Amino acid sequence: MRVFKFGGASVKDADGIKNVYDVLQKVGHEDVLVVISAMGKTTNAMEVVVRNYFDKSAELKASIQEVKKYHNQILLDLFDDENHAVFTAVNTLFKDLEYFLEHNKSPNYNFVYDQVVSMGEIISTTIVSHFFNHSGLKNQWVDVRELIKTDNTYRDAVVDWEQTQQNIKKGIKKKTLNITQGFLGSDENSFTTTLGREGSDYSAAIFAYCLNAESVTIWKDVPGVLNADPRYFENTTLLNQISYREAIELAFYGASVIHPKTLQPLQKKEIPLYVKSFINPLLPGTSVSKGADLEPQTSCFIVKKDQLLISLSSLDFSFIMEENISEIFSLLHKYKMKVHLIQNSAISFSVCVDDKFGNFNELKTILSKKFKVTYNDDVSLYTIRHFNDKSADAVTKNREVLVRQLSRETLQIVTKELK
């Protein structure tokens, strides 16, 4: 079985969904599992719904209506008959969403987030499955929440691999086109969980591992894995082949083409990963597989925007020792700060973090009891794999360098834009 993953950009409108249909016709669809994300920017729109819900905003109904309107237009563009069953199915899903928001008693933001935002994937796959069946491409719609089981760490759930493997082996039909959701799972009480932003790639890898799949293909709007994100860098280069090790390094540092957790399960079973273009599906794209000789021959650039650089120093000029660092990391973990860079000296300690959950003010209050705390917000972390002087100069031009750290293969620089 092959596993395909299509992200939000590939199903952002009716033409995109028709193109996915065409891709499957060109590359084959028998014995294929298709993992699909929410359509377009639906996840962002659903996050607005969650914020409006907790803020008790008068805009709550309007924000839900925006999501409805967006999906309804796609339905109208795909189906001539408004009496088609898909209209009722999607309307029912929105009623389920509204019912949850009206009756929910939990004050847990992350729990509510997962129950609400997950509807993007459920609605997306419902529409795609109905359209494929309507167009003669028979498929089985699968609720991933019945298969991928996790703990209850909402928004960043940990997979129960043993239970998940049993469920997937029973729930996925061979010699059939299966359509399911990325990003989602469920806990032991059957409440929806999510695997972290961009977790659909990880979902595809979970299925591939449990099914001993032939391969995984991630379909993107780029020709494959590039040496830099074309949104931020000019004159990017396609990497035709890279090793699991190199891909894991790139993913760890934040390359947006591949989710950081995607590659480990694939590497364990040596399942090849392909990154291809859904615009030109017959092009070879990038292959990721075993092999130490598959290192890029060019510098690879990764940038993380909107980071926070926290610097701590001792109040009495004493050394920051192992016990201090251990305590700091315990607090970073407690307040869910994703650490991307560390630098320390005798009396200072700096970390570049992603404050995804907005907990920095609480953390700062705790840290200030023992340390002098300074910070820079809205900084960018640039990572260059296989760096040279030219690539380093390209990143630092017109930027203030706050931290610079290098190893044999990798240069990391925290910068602030010059005003």
- Structure-token pair, residue 266: 């694939």
Burial state string for 390-404 with b = 16 or more CB within 10 A and e = fewer than 16: ebbeebeeebeebbe
Residues 198 and 310 in one domain: no
CATH number for 394: 3.30.2130.10
Instruction: Report in angstroms the alpha-carbon separations of 47 from 54, 66, 70, 92, 299.
Output: 11, 12, 15, 20, 35
Structurally, the chain folds into a number of domains equal to 2
> Per the annotation, does 327 bind a ligand?
no
What pLDDT, on a 0 to 100 scale, did the predictor assign at position 294? Answer: 61
What pLDDT, on a 0 to 100 scale, did the predictor assign at position 197? Answer: 67
Q: How many residues does the chain have?
A: 419
**Within-domain flag for 367:** yes
**Within-domain flag for 14:** yes
For residues 385 and 409, what is the distance between their CA atoms, to the nearest angstrom? 6
- Structure-token match 């043993």, residue found: 162
Q: What is the largest CA-CA distance in the chain?
A: 74
Residues 6+ apart with CB under 8 A from 58: none
CATH number for 63: 3.40.1160.10
Please say which residue of 184, 213, 242 terminates a domain: 213
> Per the annotation, does 40 bind a ligand?
no
pLDDT profile of the chain (419 residues), mean per 10 = 97 98 97 98 97 96 98 98 97 98 97 98 98 98 98 97 98 96 97 89 97 97 90 90 88 77 92 97 94 75 95 87 90 94 90 94 95 95 93 92 93 91
> Per the annotation, does 231 bind a ligand?
yes
Q: Contact, 149 vs 159, CB < 8 A?
A: yes
For residues 203 and 259, what is the distance between their CA atoms, to the nearest angstrom? 10
**Within-domain flag for 396:** yes
**Within-domain flag for 246:** no
**Within-domain flag for 206:** yes
Q: What are 403-406's contacts with CB under 8 Å, separation 24+? A: 403/309, 403/341, 403/343, 403/350, 403/352, 405/341, 405/343
Residues 198 and 343 in one domain: no
Please say which residue of 197, 213, 229 terminates a domain: 213
What pLDDT, on a 0 to 100 scale, did the predictor assign at position 345? Answer: 85
Residues 171 and 30 in one domain: yes
Residue 344 pairs in a beta bridge with 349
**Within-domain flag for 232:** no
User: What's the count of helices (H) and strands (E) in the chain, helices before strands?
Assistant: 13, 16
Domain boundaries, position 310: 300-417
**Within-domain flag for 253:** no
Give me the amino acid identity at 38.
Answer: A
Residues 154 and 36 in one domain: yes
> Per the annotation, does 155 bind a ligand?
no
This prediction has a pTM of 0.84
> Per the annotation, does 5 bind a ligand?
yes
Please say which residue of 167, 193, 213 terminates a domain: 213
**Within-domain flag for 368:** yes
